[in-house]
Structure 1
Amino acid sequence: MILQVAQVLGGDNSDIGMILQTLFSLSFIIYLFYAQRIQAMTMLRQVEVTLRKVKTIKDEGRRVSIEMVKEVGKPERDPTPDVDRFLEQFVISPVSMDPAGIMGKLDQLINVSDYT
């Protein structure tokens, strides 16, 4: 059966076989020139989707945090700016116990905290 299909599609003087061979050859040549671009677009699309998921998770966590602070803490004013400031805060932890390296990192933390 496979032999019959091959004879119909790729016979010696078959017009369909010639058209299919031409299309395959053109697609192969196009792929040679645009393979890296296609791969880059695919990777960028995957990164975009992942970033959207991360943003959705971040926004949901922010919303839940604000609701819980309002529900449990019963604040007198809106806690949204405080929650946003807390979410944007991070600490650079020391990598080693080298005093010179730690002092440089602490100096960096102090300098950065002065500007915020």
Structure 2
Amino acid sequence: MLANTLLAVSILAAATPTPGGSGGTIPASSCSTGPVQCCQTSGSASDPAISTVLAGLGIVVQDVNALVGLTCSAVSVVGVGSGATCDASALCCSENSFGGLASIGCVPVDLSS
């Protein structure tokens, strides 16, 4: 029953390309997809640990090289550039609609700018 439910609510998430080239960071002020996310885990959608979580949530990512963040929370926009901190991975993600469990299509963010 749970497997059927997960299949029924599967979401096809197409990751966006990394702005400025692969592996680069962007200034926090350039994140136009919503608040900067502070994610406790991040990595490629093809990483076994991450792909297992995504599969369990019923999330299908077309680009296996897409950067994904897990267990994310918003970083205060007020604090960005003036001491905002993230003790894990600060990311700007194109798809944040999974209740903080997963953010997809991410780019690393520099919180000091």
TM category (shorter chain) comes to under 0.3
Which has the larger helix fraction?
1
Which has the larger strand fraction?
2
TM-score by length of 2: 0.19
TM-score by length of 1: 0.18
Which of the two has higher C-alpha Rg?
Answer: 1
